[in-house]
């Protein structure tokens, strides 16, 4: 199955609106323009610990989608990961009490964005090829 554009998936699922109270940010290869057939859609969120129950209830809104699961991270306390599939895309929502700009996923995304901004199109194509 051919994947639809990642932004359409985000819009169809209303992800940014449903998660906006958690400073949701889309990261990963699709927004960088280097997505491959194996790419997924990654979103990162930050939540205050006192809103953990509300966060979990929000993530349960996606439980009707294929392969839905929610789990606490083994690596970081107060971190939840929600995964599911929609229109041939794997979607991962990473939710942490750590502020967005301090999360490793955001920092990694920012560095990739900066490198791609400074690089030429040939470099970008080589990254995709890898």
Asked whether 46 and 96 are in contact (CB, 8 A), the reply is yes
Asked whether 46 and 31 are in contact (CB, 8 A), the reply is no
* Whole-prediction pTM: 0.91
Per-residue model confidence (pLDDT) at position 69: 98
User: Which class is 6-129 in CATH?
Assistant: alpha beta
Per-residue model confidence (pLDDT) at position 126: 83
Per-residue model confidence (pLDDT) at position 1: 62
Give the pair of three-digit tokens for residue 109.
């995304």
**Domain residue ranges in the chain:** 6-129
State which residues of the chain have pLDDT below 50: none
Q: Which residues contact 90 (CB under 8 A, 6 or more apart)?
A: 40, 41, 67, 83, 84
């Amino acid at each position: 199955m051919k994947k639809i554009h990642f932004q359409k998936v985000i819009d169809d699922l209303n992800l940014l609106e449903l998660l906006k109270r958690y400073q949701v940010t889309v990261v990963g290869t699709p927004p960088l323009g280097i997505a491959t057939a194996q790419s997924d859609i990654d979103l990162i969120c930050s939540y205050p610990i006192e809103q953990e129950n509300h966060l979990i209830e929000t993530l349960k809104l996606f439980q009707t989608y294929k392969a839905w699961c929610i789990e606490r991270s083994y690596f970081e306390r107060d971190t939840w990961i929600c995964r599911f599939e929609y229109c041939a895309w794997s979607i991962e929502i990473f939710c942490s009490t750590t502020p967005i700009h301090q999360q490793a996923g955001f920092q990694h995304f920012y560095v990739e964005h900066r490198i791609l901004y400074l690089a030429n199109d040939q470099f970008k194509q080589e990254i995709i090829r890898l």
